[in-house]
Amino acid sequence: MREGRPVEEILELSEEIGAGLIVMGSRGLGPVGRLLLGSVCEGVVHHARDPVLVVRGGDESWPPERVIIGDDGSAVAKQAGELAARIGRLFGARGVIVHAYFEMPEIDAKVRALDPRAADDALRRAERALQRRAHELERVLGSHPQPKIAVGDAAYVLLEEAREGDEKPGLIAVGSRGLGSFGRMRLGSTSTKVLRAARGPVLVYPHGRLED
């Protein structure tokens, strides 16, 4: 039992006891309620040095049947994926690893017009890189995660993948960039948008954890 501001107390306690994971429930306030900047969950996620698992959606979303891992090639995304895979393995969950590009790498409209094969080559390189990550995660998850390349906003792509079909919402795992307290609060952050809009559980792995 602690007395004080919830965000500060949770963060201080996690450091005191050397926590490896902070688990929180979300009150299920709906899309509008989850947009409130002052929510305890959001405050903890934005400032924690430990991974944070936010569970929402009730019995319909936990335990997860699918784990959706956002991968951008960074070290923090790799750690987020491995932790999510370990959690997914406990429940026999299937995995999907997604790399979303705002536009295809190294290719612009002029290059495509001059050499259409260049776009295909870039796509194949991206697919090979993601397939390698899928093989690495297979050892942790216990099954081969399905790799998917997508073009568009990363948060939107992950949210759509989590809602796919008639299944319960999947667990979305993302890394949080080490941009400082102000940078992490910006509205354009993928982890922030996913945290606010997801109907199911979200796992956020902080950049600061890699520095310990």
- Domain locations in the chain as residue ranges: 6-211
Q: How crowded is the C-beta side of 52, counted as CA atoms within 13 Å?
A: 27
- Looking at CATH, the fold of the domain delimited by 6-211 is given as Rossmann fold (3.40.50)
Long-range contacts of 161-165 (CB under 8 A, 24+ apart): 161/68, 161/96, 161/98, 162/66, 162/68, 162/198, 162/199, 162/200, 163/199
- pLDDT over 70, % of the chain: 75
Is the predicted pLDDT of residue 80 greater than 90, yes or no? yes
Phi, psi of 36 (to 5 degrees): -60, 125
- pLDDT tens digits, one per residue of 40-76: 888 898 889 999 999 988 888 899 999 999 998 889 9
Is the predicted pLDDT of residue 184 greater than 70, yes or no? no
Nearest to 27 by CA among 38, 18, 16: 38
Do residues 79 and 140 lie in contact, with contact meaning Cβ atoms separated by under 8 Å? Answer: no
**Mean pLDDT (the chain, rounded):** 82
> Distance between terminal CA atoms of the chain?
27
pLDDT of 207: 78
Q: How crowded is the C-beta side of 180, counted as CA atoms within 13 Å?
A: 2
- pTM confidence score: 0.82
Mean pLDDT of 89-100: 94
Structure tokens, 194:
């996913």
Q: Give the integer Cα–Cα distance in Å for 49 and 109.
A: 41
pLDDT of 183: 43
